[in-house]
Chains A and B, each alone.
Chain A
Amino acid sequence: MARELREVFYVDGVRTAFGRAGEKGLFWKTRADDMVVKLVRELLRRNPTLPPERIDDVVLAATAQAGDQGLTLGRSVALLAGLPTSVPGLAVDRMCAGALTATTVGAGEIAMGAADVVLVGGVEHMGHHPMGAEVDFNPRFVAERIVDESAAVMGQTAENLHDAFPHLTREDADRYALASQQKAGRAWDEGVMDELVVPMTVFTDEGWRLAARDEFLRPETTLEALAGLRTPFRAGGRVTAGNSAGLTDGATAALLASEDALSEHGLEPKMRLVSYAYAGVQPELMGLGPVPATHTALARAGIGIDDIDLFELNEPFAVQVLTWCDGVGVAPDDPRLNPYGGAIACGHPLAATGVRLMAQLARGFRDRPGARYGLTALCIGLGMGAAIVWENLQDGARG
């Protein structure tokens, strides 16, 4: 018997402040699972009409599924957050698209009729889990030339992009990075971030502190300052700490719901999930991933790139954004692109970032009542890309 596909709605999303990974970072002595716990409780506080026992699943992403991110995060966080024991949970991993994948997994459960309310999100404590540190690379990858050696180091894949597209220069990348910092600085000044970032007290060697602001934010930086930075991945390279996202500790969480759940619990949806796509590309050029993912997601939605009014694109490296701009035909300084800045300014806690993009898109939609469609997209290690198309439901735009 034929069944009807059910619509999936984004209700709300929040994140922690993003901290610098490592011993000097704000979150060094804070557990990854506790960071998500804070957000789960905040979402419940912000949506008091939703009875916690009506959450049907908790889907949480982490790239490093070990240590404080290792105990089937969705379930362990649910218990630690005080959700009823009847609420189940799971953990997912698609590296940088972890939270986006948690979202589409949860969306799938809702669309299928297997859930009405799903809590999704991600966390990456890159201080506790340095990239690749807990990974045992299969030697066949290199011995059999399945991937180029450089595919394992994300900074080198970014250098590869500069090689592959020589017209994208370091100056272009630095100029993009500067704009990202400035846009983010403005968003903080205007209070945009205060709505999305949940302050939490964190224990440090200098006593308890309040983590309320991103540690990587440098709105006062200049092109000159950026030009002076060294290129750690390659002598004479183009990728610097200034035109890429730093190693970050951070967490995100969002609430998805079915139409039935919206009306039953009196929840206000901010966006409708229109379509999504994942794609694969050459691992050593992983930054190209979002291009085919974007094309496929748009095709599945039956719209074109010009129908999109707002883009939230991850910024692991400025050059990665620039290749996407070239690939889909959007100018790097297009006002529709990352209006509140991106990962270059706030950091990129791998599996957490997806929900940050969604939360900023939802906020951007509110600031642009005429906007109808938006796109969230990221590139993913080992050569993948992810994209979700959203429809704006705020200011009576719900269709």
Chain B
Amino acid sequence: MASPTRFAVQPVETALGRIALVTMDNGEEWQKPTTFGEAALRSLEEALERLETETWAGMILTGKPFVFAAGADIDEFGEITPERAREGSAAGHALFARIRALPFPTLAAINGAALGGGVEIALHCDYRTISSSVRHFACPEVFLGLIPGWGGTQLVPRLVGAELAVKFIVENPLRQNRMLDAAQAFEQGFADALLAPVEFLDESLAWLLRAIEESRPPRADADLSDAAEVVRKARARVDGQVHGAAPAPYRALDLIEGAARWTLDEGYRAEEDALAELLPGPQAQASLYAFDLVERRAKRRVGIPSAHPREVGKVGIVGAGLMARQLALVFLRRLEVPIVLRDLEQSLVDDALSWIAGELDELVRRGRIGEGKARFLGSLVTGGTDWEPFADCDLVLEAVFEELAIKKEVFAELERVVSPECILATNTSSLSVTAMGADLAHPERVVGMHFFNPVAILPLVELVRTPATDDVTLATAATVTGKLRKRGVLVRDAPAFVVNRLLARQGAVVTDALDHGNTVEETDEAVLRLGLPMAPSVLLQLVGPRVANHVRHTLHAAWPDRFPLSATLTSLAEGGGQVVVEHAPRTVDEIHRQVLEALADEAAHILREGVVPEAADIDTCMLLGAGFPFWLGGITKHLDQTGVSQRVVGRPLAEITPDEA
């Protein structure tokens, strides 16, 4: 929790008169960005009283070193009433409007990250300078199920036009919360000057003095005559992405369109209406919950033992297939240690090595790493068909075919050559990690590290603990996961863990519908209605029907009632097509309802079994490993909010705890 933000006013005497230098500062180091809570707004009000009553030639608004302002304090948003939401929006409008009304030239000197309300307060100044070092300039509200509610939806289009406003306020947040850097913000017209960071504030002061001297007019309002057309097209794109499941982007588009015909005051009122509705609403509350999980909780290594992790100076990857080579690349890039690959055929290994070399070249071409670095990294990777090169590995991750017997054989072979401490990790998606280690001399060094495809993009790693896994092994796997810039979630060894188990349960509903004569379009629509990033048919192709069917078999073996085998899935796995067993298609609504109920039921099983201790863990997994959207709050938040959990399992998932063993 950061300290309350203060607006400190310092007079600076200049040849043109007294300039007010106003600093937004929460008194913390730069890692804790300045935000606007209620106390900040009171401080702004005091500053404004001084600015309005004394004589000034101009004002500069800036932030503490490295941070401009990160917007409203979202810790004040939870469990909020519509009235409070409206008041919060209106309070900001009233104060920011007073900045805009100051009778002297005002400049926002954007010296660091400017997010949400930070951008909006800057937009209420006459001019903006931006430091070329700024990497985060954005209104991420829509990403959180909200809209910029302190004038952003009204002033952004006036400043940069409808097209760029739609991109900035709606489309960037929906694209993994993309943000602008300083150069982009300047090019798009958000700032009047792009200045070097080294003397940024001094040069901003000089810039303002010149602007005063030259009576420089603020940037002219953009022509918004195309707003309706631009918004119409954008709405179609948003439909294709969120399928109506999230209200915020649509409200934001309405507000941008409204900016073309409203006065600023009318726009303010419309923003207040929108926030009063959105902020207490389920999507925004779920998004705030998801944001907290992903940005805070997932970084705390919940449940990971505090044992001292082992150094990992060499990594072995068993397998050279699609997953194995991606894993080799991420270990290589992030750990920068020798990596050895092994597969049955040298040609497979060679293929993997040349793929890795190609990826390194691509990184050089995109300017991500230098040529020398690429050469060095390339020199670290070797591969072949022997086990001996694994002898001095500290961690070996297997990613061979999903068959227990094969995996057991791999671990047995490894145990012959590696040290007794070498960690043996498996990337299995559904097999029993416990069984894999059962016949080893040292099962305590066996752990699951389940990555998600595409490895470079999805940040989740399910860290699977077996009853035998010791603390050092788990701590090492968790530390390595962090160094790979992934988020580890600790799970107990159980078939398919969390993400694949839930996706498989959802898949069971889908294939059952297909077996009963529904079309792929219908089943896709039923699932996409949740606002998921990928249709189940597309996901199935990505995973591969053979793998999906294999997972289904594993789960079927454990829980035949909940994971029935499917004629269609079996057929697809063998290269065939849909098989209608009995023609009894359901409506899309029915399938949608069944998907939600299946997810609630399975989540309850996962929690009762203690696969993970809390619903929050399930949600972290679905957000980071399956790309489920923020506005579902992972999945359990949505199921609880909509009453599905109550209907299916008798109480909210958030309240379910593991059964006593």
Contact = CB atoms under 8 A, between A and B. Distances in A.
Interface stretch (A174-182, A199-207, A237-245, A345-353): A199-207
25 contacts: A37-B198, A41-B198, A81-B198, A82-B196, A82-B198, A200-B202, A201-B202, A201-B205, A203-B23, A203-B64, A203-B65, A205-B27, A206-B8, A206-B10, A207-B8, A207-B21, A207-B22, A207-B23, A207-B25, A208-B21, A208-B23, A208-B62, A209-B12, A210-B13, A210-B21
Interface in B297-327: none
Given A201-B21, A201-B202, A203-B64, A209 B10 contact: yes
A200 B206 CA distance: 11
B112 to A, nearest CB: 12
Contact of A80 (B13, B21, B198): B198
Contact of A209 (B21, B64, B196, B199): B21
B489 interface: no
Contact of B10 (A81, A82, A200, A207): A207
Q: Which of A37, A80, A199 has the most CB of B within 10 A?
A: A199
Interface in A210-255: 210, 212
Interface string B187-213: 000000000101101100100000000
A38 interface: yes
- The A contact surface, by secondary structure, is mixed
Nearest to A29: B65
Given A82-B196, A207-B25, A208-B21, A201 B201 contact: yes
Interface residues on B, range: 20 to 34
A393 B27 CA distance: 50
A207 B65 CA distance: 10
Given A37-B198, A203-B64, A209-B21, 17 more contacts: A82-B198, A200-B202, A201-B21, A201-B201, A201-B202, A203-B65, A206-B8, A206-B10, A207-B8, A207-B9, A207-B23, A207-B25, A208-B201, A209-B12, A210-B10, A210-B12, A210-B13
Q: Which of A81, A200, A201 has the most CB of B within 10 A?
A: A201
B530 to A, nearest CB: 47
B10 A208 contact: yes
Q: Which of A208, A209, A212 has the most CB of B within 10 A?
A: A208
Contacts of B62: 208
B69 to A, nearest CB: 13
- Please list the 4 inter-chain residue pairs (A to B) with the smallest Cβ-Cβ separation, ordered nearest first: A207-B8, A207-B23, A201-B201, A210-B12
A200 B199 CA distance: 9
Contacts of B12: 209-210
A199 B202 CA distance: 9
Contacts of A82: 196, 198
Q: Which of B10, B27, B64, B205 has the most CB of A within 10 A?
A: B10
Contacts of A41: 198-199
Interface string A20-38: 0000000000000000011
A203 B202 CA distance: 12
A385 B222 CA distance: 67
Contacts of B23: 203, 207-208
Contacts of A212: 13
Contacts of B25: 207
Q: Which of A207, A210, A212 has the most CB of B within 10 A?
A: A207
B147 to A, nearest CB: 31
Nearest to B111: A208
A352 B22 CA distance: 31
